Amino acid sequence: MQSAQHSTYTPLTLQARLASIGLICLSLALVGCQKSEPVATEKPITKVELIQQDLVRIQHGSSVSKTTFTGTIRAVNQSTIQAQVTATATAVNAQVGQTVQKGQVLVRLNNQDNAARLAQAQANLASAQAQANQARLMVQRKERLLQQGFVSKVEYEQSKVDYQAQLENTNAQQANVNIARKADQDGTITSPISGVITKRQVEPGQTVAAGATLFEIIDPAHLEIQALLPSDSQSALKLGQAIEYRIQGNNNLLNATLSRISPIADPASRQIEFFAQPKEAITSLSIGAFVEGQILGSDQVSGQLIPLNTVQDLDNNPYVWVVRQNKIAKASIKVLEQRYSTNIAVVTGLEDSDLVSRVKFSDNQIRQDVSISKN
């Protein structure tokens, strides 16, 4: 009987197999790690493509120096009407928005005390005048008697003294009448100017105190610009200087002439007040409106001419996008003049070789290469 054959594993054979398996696992792990790491590749550098119509060559020109200011529109002639006496309004003859003429009665104030004082003063004046007349007649009589020798010169001179005293009393009573009449007339208030009522603060039957404001009137036919300028810019202020300005809510560019300048600056704000006469007609609705303008200097300033609509952040930190040495650049500029009608800005700060871009870019495109084609 043959005995069965059995495979036997010696310790050395088992260790060899385990080592082989370990090597295989290590190789697989290394392969896996190599596959998980991305292979770095260089991205191709792309150029910004523009056409010639996107770019503008810089031109040169000149502009007058301009000094910016702010102000308001005001009426040259305006009046605040106040009560001169404490009284009751019996009739109010003007409304807000109504056009009135100089001397027109606006309100009547009734003060019984003033009327009584006027009547008493007039009575006292009449009595004083009568007494003065009697004294005058007495002087004439004494003069005749003196010539006839019936009275002494001392008695005649005394009659003249009495007459003079009566004349002085008459003058005093006339002054009292004038005062009482003015107080009574102060109850009839008339307009000191021709214009339009802009405020009314009295109603029929209302008792008003002396000094209270009753009406405000402006003359809309004569308006002006009232503005301030820092004292360090006072060299721009010259009578007759041309001014360009815009009224808030109105985009039209208007013109004015500098007409008046305050002789001193405000000690607190160091601002100089000045006034300008508009050349174009302005409606009364513009009174009080905010104004932005520029005083045009007489000297010329040279600059660079570019399209106005290419300027970014115009009101704060103006800049333009340019192609400089075939790369995109962001160039800060100073705007000397804005010509809206022709879409031109007069600026400084650019290089003559710059090409101003009509296309807007972003900051991350700065220094990126540019390719320019004809179309």
- Report the Cα 83 to chain-centroid distance in Å: 32
Whether residues 157 and 201 share a domain: the answer is yes
Contact 69, 229 (CB under 8 A): yes
- Residue 146 maps to a domain: yes
Look at residues 284, 299, 314 and tell me which one is the last residue of a structural domain.
299
Look at residues 157, 190, 216 and tell me which one is the last residue of a structural domain.
216
DSSP assignment string, 233-281: GGGG--TT-EEEEEETT----EEEEEEEE-SS--TTT-EEEEEEEESS-
What CATH number does residue 328 fall under?
A: 2.40.420.20
Whether residues 134 and 227 share a domain: the answer is no
pLDDT at res. 9? 39
Instruction: Compute the distance between CA of residue 217 and CA of residue 53 in angstroms, rounded to an integer.
Output: 58
The structure tokens listed for 353 are 């070789």
pLDDT digits (tens, 9 = 90+) for 111-128: 666 667 778 888 888 998
The structure tokens listed for 5 are 């054959």
Q: Which residue in the block uniquely carries the two structure tokens 């005293």?
A: 165
What CATH number does residue 231 fall under?
A: 2.40.30.170
- Residue 2 maps to a domain: no
Res. 35: pLDDT tops 80: no
Burial class (CB within 10 angstroms; exposed 0-12, middle 13-18, buried 19+) of 345: buried
pLDDT digits (tens, 9 = 90+) for 316-372: 999 999 999 999 999 999 998 887 778 888 999 999 999 999 999 999 999 999 999
Q: Comparing C-alpha atoms, which of 366, 371, 315 is closest to residue 338?
A: 315
Instruction: Compute the distance between CA of residue 291 and CA of residue 247 in angstroms, rounded to an integer.
Output: 5
Give the global pTM. 0.51
Instruction: Compute the distance between CA of residue 321 and CA of residue 54 in angstroms, rounded to an integer.
Output: 11
Put residue 211 in one of left, alpha, beta given phi > 0 → left and psi -120 to 50 → alpha: left
Largest Cα–Cα distance in the chain? 212
Whether residues 196 and 91 share a domain: the answer is yes
Q: How confident is residue 183, by pLDDT bands cut at 50, 70 and 90?
A: low
Whether residues 111 and 144 share a domain: the answer is yes
The number of folded domains in the chain is 3
